[in-house]
Amino acid sequence: MPAHILVIDDEPDIRSGLRDILEDEGHRVSEAQDAAAARALLADAAFDAVLLDIWMPGTDGIALLREWVTAGELPQPVIMMSGHGTVETAVEATRLGAYDFIEKPIALAKLLITLERALEAQHLRQANRQLQRQVGSLFEPVGESPAFQTVLAQLRRLAERDAALLLRGEAGTGKESLARWVHGNSNRRNGPFITVAAGAVPDEQAAIALFGSEGAEGVSAGLLEQANSGTLYLDEIAELGAELQLRLSSALERRQVLRVGGRSPVPLDVRVIAASSQDLEAERSAGRLRDELYFQLNVLPIKVPALRERGEDIGPLAQHFDRIFAARDGVPPRQWPDAVLERLRQHDWPGNVRELRGLTQRLSLLGSGEVRLDEIEPALQGQAVRNDAATQENVVPLDLSQPLREARDGFERAYLLRQLANAGGSVGKLAQLSGMERTHLYRKLRDLGINKE
């Protein structure tokens, strides 16, 4: 994607060389020889990314980065450059919010890969913010029950701390949503939020997926490295193999990542939030969870209540999800009469918030007007949702005036949303229903803006 890049370096040859490389890739480039020139350019123009040298006369790169952070949110990703870099300098830069750190002499492949990922991350961040402004957030905590408010108060106090959090609770209670909320209220909010779903990482690819790789084909950053300056969410960590647990524990302890095939460690600056629905003490006793990793993650344990323990929140949650799905999918919101809300409160909700969200999404897609008891009863009894007013529920409406690509995306999105609802939110079951390979499916869900939760 063509972008406007600002290069800040006191050496004319380096600025010129970077300009030639970046313009050959289709980017527009502006140059600044020092902090004063950079301030002037940033005051007059918007940039998509900044390449910032650390060692400059006067105000150096770290000081300039700190100045931007103190003034507020970084409007674009910043990639630091240095020919005299140390691990401490790189850690300080990423702690302040730099996207990455590259050493001089700058390798062409490393530069272009890092810049491409920084621009992609910025594009996704802007798209997510725009979507949240339009429809609200699925991750916004909703509920006034004492049980939920107690948890929220604890998380609010801990949001600005960097200590590891461990969210414990039944499957589907919204642990990832709470982790995202903590991230959004922390001083790392401008950094990435990266999820490691241990059970979804294939064993043969787990090391590369987590730690990245280096080789003749280039450098690939793993999930840990992608989380630099942000939050790493570890879901069901006991499902990782013992060797990977040990390697992960070492990376977190040393705050460094060694890529598969790599020789030099990469600085790691992340806040870790782990989650589990399992009995972790039993997993330790059975040898499936290493002590080192358990004690690293169990610094601040938080118990997330089951939905049946916060019954007064069921109605507000259902209406919250309905408003979001209606706005996102372009359909009118449903009305929720008292009789329906009372029936929802009587349900045991074995799938917790995830089950309620799935039911709400199906009702949003398949019906209109006032929600009826005969719509929700089959779902609460474990049957498929039926809607007499939508007898052609397998027919997806399409706007044939759209360009082919937009119409196809609309169909794929509606199809995958329907199948995801039928799969109860399970991506594994969705892969079976759709006949798609899981890796390709995850990519497709991401491209279509579908959150698997």
pLDDT in tens, the chain (453 residues): 689 999 999 999 999 999 999 999 999 999 999 999 999 999 888 899 999 999 898 899 999 998 888 776 677 899 999 877 666 777 778 778 888 888 888 888 889 999 988 888 887 777 656 655 544 456 678 999 999 999 999 999 999 888 999 999 999 999 999 999 999 899 888 888 888 887 766 666 788 888 888 887 777 888 898 888 899 999 988 888 888 899 999 999 999 998 888 888 888 899 999 999 999 999 999 998 999 999 999 989 999 999 999 999 999 999 999 998 888 778 889 999 999 999 999 999 988 999 999 899 889 888 889 999 988 888 787 643 333 333 344 555 555 555 666 667 777 878 888 888 777 777 777 877 887 777 667 777 877 777 665
Among positive and negative, which fits the CA dihedral 268, 273, 276, 282?
positive
Q: Are strands 266-267 and 256-257 parallel, antiparallel or unpaired?
A: antiparallel
Q: What's the Cα-to-Cα distance from 281 to each of 98, 104, 238, 295, rounded to whole Å?
A: 38, 47, 11, 11
Tokens of 451: 């959150």
Query: Cα separation of 108 and 141, whole Å?
Result: 44
Query: Cα separation of 445 and 453, whole Å?
Result: 11
Cβ proximity of 365 and 339 under 8 Å: no
Tokens of 234: 């570890």
Residue 161 CB-density burial (10 A; 0-12 exposed, 13-18 middle, 19+ buried): middle
Q: Where are the alpha helices (DSSP H) in 233-290?
A: 242-254, 280-285
Cβ proximity of 249 and 296 under 8 Å: yes
Query: Cα separation of 144 and 338, whole Å?
Result: 18
Cβ proximity of 143 and 149 under 8 Å: yes
Tokens of 263: 């020789």
Cβ neighbors of 67 (< 8 A, separation 6 or more) are 35, 59
Q: Which domains does the chain have, with CATH numbers?
A: 4-131 (3.40.50.2300), 146-305 (3.40.50.300), 394-453 (1.10.10.60)
Neighbours of 285 (CB within 10 A): 10
Q: Are strands 28-32 and 49-53 parallel, antiparallel or unpaired?
A: unpaired
Cβ proximity of 218 and 117 under 8 Å: no
Tokens of 157: 């106090």
Predicted pLDDT of residue 71? 76
Predicted pLDDT of residue 39? 92
Predicted pLDDT of residue 167? 96
SS (H, E, C) 345-414: HHCCCCCHHHHHHHHHHHHHHHCCCECCHHHHHHHHCCCCCCCCCCCCCCCCCCCCCCCHHHHHHHHHHH
Predicted pLDDT of residue 383? 43
Cβ proximity of 416 and 452 under 8 Å: no
For 197-249, the DSSP string reads EGGGS-GGGHHHHHH-EEETTEEE--HHHHTTTSEEEEESGGGS-HHHHHHHH
Predicted pLDDT of residue 138? 60
Cβ proximity of 114 and 100 under 8 Å: yes
Predicted pLDDT of residue 282? 92
